[in-house]
Amino acid sequence: MKKKQNIILDPKFRNYAYAAAPLVNIYEQPTGKKTIAKMLMGEWMKVASSTEDLTSEERLKVFFRGGEGFVDSENLTRERCLEVYFLDVDQGDSILIQTPDDRRVLIDGGQDDSALSFLRNKYRLDKPGKFIDFEAIVATHSDLDHTGGLIKILRHPRIAVKRVYHNGLFRRTLKTSDPGPSIGNRLGGLEDCPELPGDPELSHFMKKFIDAVQQAKKRLPHIIKQMEAEGRWHDRLDLPPEGFICKRLEAADEFLPPYGKDNKYLQIKVLWPCADEANTLPRYSTKSETVNGNSIVLKLIHGENTVLLTGDLNEKSMDDILHHYSQNGKLDEWETNIYKAAHHGSQHFSVPFLKLISPDAAVISSGDNRYDKHGHPSAVLLGTITRFSKLEKPAIFSTELAACFRKLSPSQQAEFNSGHGHLYERAIQGIIHLRSDGRQMHLGRVFGRRPPKDPHAQTMWKWDVWSKPLRHKKATGD
């Protein structure tokens, strides 16, 4: 007998339901076996009837992005999942987190418009009255392939940003102060938000980033006012007490606001970088190693499930992490189910670090467009990354390997006035999808068949899905 879900719904969302199984079939008819789509756990559907009881019929008619069909009611739930999207931004990182209470955090933005394009398409920002808000945007470090794409997102007239966090290191034009003044074997000069135009030493790119942050701050009240005019937003436009925030983030902060230990939907711990009492960070052999090695590291905790996001950590910083956390007896904080590979799958990693975190599945974000300049992901990293998993079948997902391209037709090529070679377009985006309900957790990518006109519709895709094995709870003896 099906268990009835007694959930009191906001009238605005009474008809919405979500896929409750790893993959849910959408059928063409109320009876029969012909499927027209498969929905990954957590994907939304709008139930055609107004009933709140999802168990009242064997199959319910639903509308979804890309069409309409019928779903077995036992595969629907009113409860939202945690959704994480590892975006395909070529050589770079961008991670969208959508929480079970329908709020958002963005970790990095890639180098170009790829992340913004995803947000624009997913949330229909080209339609009148469409907006989204971010509880936080995090730039793990100041490299262009992580921070460059954030500039247009921060400037977008329909994106409200409440908080911006970074690691406190800003690239500068003077070698002696880039990315901060040296203090022995450490690095000082950490800042929350440099003022413009008051800091002439900032690099041109850093000035553009800070200017975008300042624009986001200035524009926030105006965007909020517009969103308040739309009924669906009025009850969730709560701002931090101090208003817009731009601040550096480190392990001493413990959690990414507002996802602290009291947040009932999600906790996001801050594990790195670690500043000392003199407010300095580790300095490594090169400036690039220093900026990368002090990337912000976040750990998502959702019920029994964990996801570790590591920016561009390198071997030296990984060894520093092992040393620092062994001294305070908190090494177990680094163990995780899912590991977003550091530095796009670089060969510069620490085997003891991978032993410590012992991930069951990994996600690698990479994708050189020209000559495979960086060689990511490296063969040795691919061979080692899930080696220390306790599972028989661990998994590795890669945005680069998930993306597919197709050659343009001669007429399409002619439109580009190209007389030589072949032109290609990306036919399948290399986005890696993660879903968690607190116990179940699934990673998936799409493949096969002709892609739909709407890149985020579910109609034509097949899915490659990895599921975290469930631990059986012991009987209580009641």
Identify the band that residue 196 occupies on the pLDDT scale cut at 50, 70 and 90.
confident
pLDDT score, position 321: 96
- The pLDDT, as a whole number, for residue 236 is 72
For the residues 219-244, what does the mean pLDDT come to?
Answer: 86
Distances (CA, A) of 213 to 1, 155, 196, 208, 465: 54, 8, 11, 9, 37
Percent of the chain with pLDDT over 90: 59
Give yes or no for residue 75 having a pLDDT over 90: yes
Report the distance separating Cα 323 and Cα 189, nearest Å: 24
140 within 8 A of 127, measured Cβ to Cβ: no
Rounded distance, CA 165 to CA 145, Å?
A: 17
Question: How sure is the predictor about 172, in pLDDT bands with cuts at 50, 70 and 90?
Answer: very high
Q: What is the pLDDT of residue 54?
A: 74
Q: What is the pLDDT of residue 2?
A: 39
Omega before residue 258 within 30° of 0, cis? yes
Is the CA virtual torsion 369, 371, 377, 382 positive or negative?
Answer: positive
pLDDT at residue 65 in the model: 84
In the numeric block, the tokens 């007998």 are attached to: 1
Structure tokens at 248: 């550096």
At 95 the pLDDT is 96
Q: Within a 10 A sphere around the Cβ of 323, how many other Cβ atoms?
A: 9
In the predicted model, what is the mean pLDDT of residues 167-196?
A: 90
Domains of the chain and any CATH numbers: 11-77 (2.30.30.40), 82-402 (3.60.15.10)
Strands (E), 20-65: 23-27, 35-40, 44-47, 59-64
- Neighbouring CB atoms inside 10 A of 40's CB total 24
Tens digit of pLDDT for each residue in 385-414?
Answer: 888 998 999 998 988 765 555 455 566 556
Instruction: Name the phi and psi angles at 97, rounded to 5.
Output: -115, 125
Continuous segment of H or E residues that includes residue 246: strand 245-248
Amino acid at 210: I
Q: 290-345 pLDDT, tens per residue?
A: 999 999 999 999 999 999 999 999 999 999 999 999 998 899 999 999 999 997 66
Of the candidate ranges 60-74, 189-203, 385-399, 450-464, the one whose mean pLDDT is the lowest: 450-464
Asked if 336 and 308 count as a contact pair (C-beta separation under 8 A), the reply is yes
pLDDT the model gives residue 58: 82
Give the residues across from 398 on adjacent strands: 364
Q: What is the DSSP pairing of strand 16-19 with strand 432-436?
A: unpaired
Does the N-terminal peptide bond of residue 377 adopt cis geometry, omega within 30 degrees of 0?
yes
3-state secondary structure of 274: coil
Residue 220 tokens read as: 């926030």
Band (199; pLDDT cuts 50, 70, 90): confident
Contacts of 272 (CB under 8 A, 6+ apart): 250, 251, 294, 295, 296, 297, 313, 317, 321
Residue 428 has pLDDT above 50, yes or no: yes
Query: How is residue 133 written in tokens?
Result: 């808000």
Least confident of 22-26, 153-157, 365-369: 365-369
Would you give the DSSP letter of residue 475? P
Q: What does pLDDT average to over the chain?
A: 85
Q: How confident is the model at residue 6 (pLDDT cuts 50, 70, 90)?
A: very low
Q: For residues 144-165, give the mean pLDDT.
A: 96
What pLDDT does 372 receive? 56
> What is the per-residue burial (b if ≥16 Cβ within 10 Å, else e) of 447-462?
eeeebbeeeeebbbbe
- Residue 13's pLDDT is 47
More confident residue, 37 or 235: 37
Residue of 217 and 418 predicted with greater confidence: 217
